[in-house]
Structure formats: structure tokens, C-alpha cells
Amino acid sequence: MSSPQHLAAHSLPRHALTRLAQDWLAEDTPGLDPAGAVSAARSVCGFSSKIEVECGSAEEGREAAGAGADVVMLDNLQPQELHAAARTLKDQFPALLIEASGGVTPENLALYFSPHVDVVSLGCITQGCPVADFSLKIQKSGGDSKLLISNQTCKQ
């Protein structure tokens, strides 16, 4: 019988396995071991895939890195706490990439820069943007095929 980690890894497409958000795992798969999930993802990913784990502390980051994560996203940490956690993780795992995320804005971006932080994410780039409907729906209605694109109807 397959373990929960093994089942979770195989139920997702390979490209989706490159990023494992710990909050998502905890909510959708109670009892799932994040370290086991990283190992399971690694077992089905291609050699060029990167596995990223979202972590809320240095301890969670250490667990993810120890399990083989390529990138640890330190999420929602204050800059001082972030820098201490990033330094600790880089000391233990020099090849690990560290991403800072959560609460970063253009105004406070510089506070997140550090020799131990490789990537800084800004959610404000996409938050609050107008939504565009890019769905494609093909319907057959009364023998008349229609192509519906973004709420506009085009006769074919």
C-alpha cells in the first residue's frame, strides 16, 4: 500500500511538484509529513526540477532542506528574523536557495536584501490587478457550433 506522501506526489502533475507549500499540504492532507512529501516529489521529478517548500520558521526550513528541498521560501518573517533564519540555513546548507516572501512591498524591499537571501518575492505585483478571463469554451447549440472566448461569441 502506498504512503500518503507517495499518493500525494502521484496525484499531482510533475510540473506542480516543483513547489510544495507547507500550508497547502497541512490543510489538504492532514498528517502528511512535509519531509516525506519532498522525498516523494524528488522520486518522481526530473533531474532538472527544483522543489520549493514554503516555511514559516528556520526550523521548518531546516526540515525541508534536510529532506532535499532545493529552495526554502521563508514566508511572513520580519526582516531581522528572516536574516537570522537565512544565515542559519545557508551555514548548514550552502547550496540551498533562500526566498523571502510575505509582507514585501516596493517601499520596504531593501530591508529584505541580504547576502543569505537569493530571491525576494513581491505579491503586490499581482494582487489587486484586474481579472482577465482567458477561458476557452466550445459549445454545440442546435447544430450551430460556437466558439466562446472571454464572454464574446464568434460564429464559426
The DSSP line for 25-47 is HHHHSTT--HHHHHHHHHHHS-T
Could you say which DSSP state residue 50 is in? -
Which grid cell is 125?
Answer: 505585483
**Closest to 77 in 3D by CA, of 68, 89, 67, 66:** 89
How far is the C-alpha of 138 from the C-alpha of 145, rounded, in Å? 8
Architecture of the domain delimited by 4-129: Alpha-Beta Barrel (3.20)
Burial of residue 135 (CB within 10 Å: 0-12, 13-18, 19+) is exposed
Output the pLDDT for position 50: 92
Tell me the pLDDT of the chain (156 aa) as tens digits.
444 444 444 455 544 544 555 566 566 666 667 778 888 888 888 788 899 999 999 999 999 999 999 999 999 999 999 999 999 999 999 999 999 999 999 999 999 999 999 999 998 877 777 777 777 766 666 655 555 555 444 444
